[in-house]
Amino acid sequence: MAAGGGGGRPPGPDPALEPYVQTRIFKIIVIGDSNVGKTCLTFRFCGGTFPGKTEATIGVDFREKTVEIEGERIKVQVWDTAGQERFRKSMVEHYYRNVHAVVFVYDVTKMSSFTNLKTWIEECNGHAVPPLVPRVLVGNKCDLKDLIQVPSSLALKFADAHNMLLFETSAKDPQESQNVDAIFMCLVCRLKAQRSLPCRDTEGWPAQPQPHSRRLDEASRKGSCPC
Amino acid sequence: MAISEGGLLTDEIRCKVWPKLLSVNTDDLPPLPARKELREDNKDYQQVLLDVRRSLRRFPPGMPDDQREGLQEELIDIILHVLQRNPQLHYYQGYHDIVVTFLLVVGDRLATALVEKLSTHHLRDFMDSTMDNTKHILNYLMPIIDQVNPEVHDFMQSAEVGTIFALSWLITWFGHVLSDFRHVVRLYDFFLACHPLMPIYFAAVIVLHREQEVLDCECDMASVHHLLSQIPQDLPYESLISKAGDLFVQFPPSELAKEAAQAAQAERTAASTFKDFELASVQQRPDTVLRQRFRERLRGEERLRGEERTKSILTKPRTNRFVKLAVMGLTVALGAAALAMVKSALEWAPKFQLQIFP
């Protein structure tokens, strides 16, 4: 089974020794068309490597990773979903419950996976995911430079229109692995800020200028917190 | 043979027995149509192609690339051929995991005939236009667990783990999750010889086999889902098969139908989705026969053992033999008749259930 590459439980603090420290959990769901690279992205984030042979995801797979931000340990749970329409219609709904963030993935070399994003957004709204839940857009397979069908400008426009951050990346390219990390870390930072200041929960992303760029700035590329 | 210890042992025997279990006449196999014809204008071609291309793990590790690629092309052809001939069937991701098993064991021509039969019988519910029926079959999982170990059942319910961790087990007959091909074909022997709901009993048996791990797990959806979806590769298959058979006899689908229907209600699954309900009641005869036979045999056992029989069949291996005999006897007696009832399961239609159990 493809699941759980990095999903093994990382050695956390012994609860018996640290009874007052509770690790916060952030739950992120990853959705998008079949074969856009959802499983590879989650593997890359949770396990650090690009899996050589991934298979079609059937139903929902789960992976997790514990990260440390500003001295706080946070458990990031990533729910990797099947892309085929029939699964999303009736099987995946259970996993939209109480999500803290949504990652939409498309394949930059396949226009249909981009144009289908609007049905994924409808899907997400249909599952009553509150508007304040952060959403990011990820264009995957950027390493296939000669095959790109979705221009960055188009993707950026779409992301802006839907109040999402856009990342273009490649789960396959080892050079990009920090960028994959940055996608998830950015969400975690955002959630961390949002949760420590509940009164800010009225907006989606903050209104100040955001790195809507296709690449994150240098700081984030080094794997630190981009926010 | 297919149920008893070790299963059918070799692929040579499987080539002879699998067609018989599915009532497929091996002397009269239709020719396969031309590849180009199949692939043009086929709505499922792109999805099938994506899934088959990614199914490298299903082939023996030492197989040369060109041989594997040839088989992958055959796999695509078989799937498209069956779909083309049966427009009522819909492709699902995972179907390819089942078809590849047949391809590797019996070759493309026979595999096509077997898979077609299987798809219109055992797999029929998975191939509906929606997955509502599949979901309903998954609803049998928790009631089976509840019968054997209510503690595990209650724990899983409070974790709200759902049943999706078992989805790939069910719809691929474990072909997607077991890495050793010998185990996969062993299970296929068993499932081919049994009621179409047997894979869900087997899924329950795996969960019950891991009861301690489950109870030791943190009681939340992610932890329990993660634990259960990672299927151990060293399962004691023979004893689990025997236990699944025992559970089927002890708690036949008809007795679990009420709970399963309630689960469906709880999940607000529309009962109206079971459109085949009327058809089901027409076709239900073989299932009724099967259930009667089970009951007769169970009554016989009860006479033999008096009040000794308890719910805890899993902890009483001594009793297993009788029950196994019952399963085997039935399989032999009914043979292919038992196969004609996938759609028949009267008890699968929650609406109807509510009338039986007001």
Nearest to B229 among A34, A55, A61 (CB): A61
Beta carbons within 8 Å of B39's beta carbon, 6+ residues apart = B45, B76, B80
Alpha-carbon gap, residue A64 to A12, rounded angstroms: 12
Which regions in chain B score pLDDT beneath 70?
A: 266-358
Alpha-carbon gap, residue B164 to B138, rounded angstroms: 8
Per-residue b or e along A13-38, where b marks 16 or more CB atoms closer than 10 Å to that residue's CB: eeeeeeeeeeeeebbbbbbbbbbbbb
Alpha-carbon gap, residue B249 to B270, rounded angstroms: 29
Given CB atoms, is A94 within the 8 Å cutoff of chain B? Answer: yes
Query: Phi and psi of A60, rounded to 5°?
Result: -140, 130
- pLDDT value, residue B74: 94
Degrees, nearest 5: CA angle B81-B86-B90:
90
Residues of chain B contacting A, Cβ within 8 Å: 47, 50-51, 54-57, 90, 92-94, 96, 129-132, 135, 162, 164-165, 167-168, 171-172, 176-177, 222, 225-226, 229-231
Contact A224, A69 (CB under 8 A): no
- pLDDT value, residue B31: 79
Residues B164, A1: C-beta atoms closer than 8 Å: no
- Residues facing A168 on adjacent strands: A139
Nearest to A90 among B55, B131, B172 (CB): B131
- pLDDT value, residue A14: 52
Query: Phi and psi of A61, rounded to 5°?
Result: -110, 155
CA distance A160 to chain B (A): 30
Q: Tokens at residue B213, please?
A: 């791990």
Type and span of the H or E element at B111: helix B108-120
Residue A220 has pLDDT above 80, yes or no: no
Residues B93, A3: C-beta atoms closer than 8 Å: no
- pLDDT value, residue B281: 38
Tens digits of per-residue pLDDT, B22-62?
Answer: 999 888 887 777 787 788 878 899 999 999 999 998 999 89
Tens digits of per-residue pLDDT, A145-187?
Answer: 999 999 999 999 999 999 999 999 999 988 887 788 899 998 9
CA distance A5 to chain B (A): 11
Residues of B in contact with A95 (CB under 8 A): 164
CA distance A77 to chain B (A): 8
Nearest to A89 among B130, B165, B222 (CB): B130
Residues A84, B47: C-beta atoms closer than 8 Å: yes
- pLDDT value, residue B141: 97
Alpha-carbon gap, residue B101 to B103, rounded angstroms: 5
Q: Which of B125, B167, B168, B273 to mutate to test the interface with A (most CBs of A within 10 A)?
A: B168
Residues B164, A59: C-beta atoms closer than 8 Å: yes
Block residue for tokens 């959806």: B221
Cα torsion B336, B339, B344, B349 to 10°: value is 150
Beta carbons within 8 Å of B291's beta carbon, 6+ residues apart = B252, B254
- pLDDT value, residue B30: 78
- pLDDT value, residue A2: 39
Residues B132, A60: C-beta atoms closer than 8 Å: no
| Radius of gyration (C-alpha) of chain A in whole angstroms | 17
Given CB atoms, is A93 within the 8 Å cutoff of chain B? Answer: no
Residues A94, B164: C-beta atoms closer than 8 Å: yes
Residues A64, B229: C-beta atoms closer than 8 Å: no
Tens digits of per-residue pLDDT, A2-31?
Answer: 343 444 444 544 545 544 567 889 999 999
Beta carbons within 8 Å of A149's beta carbon, 6+ residues apart = A108, A109, A110, A111, A114
Q: Structural domain boundaries of chain A?
A: 24-193
Say whether the ipTM exceeds 0.95: no
- pLDDT value, residue B8: 80
Nearest to A90 among B135, B171, B225 (CB): B135
Chain A, chain B: beta-carbon pairs less than 8 Å apart: 86
Tens digits of per-residue pLDDT, A61-83?
Answer: 999 999 998 888 999 999 999 99
What is A24-193's CATH number? Answer: 3.40.50.300
Beta carbons within 10 angstroms of residue B134's beta carbon: 22
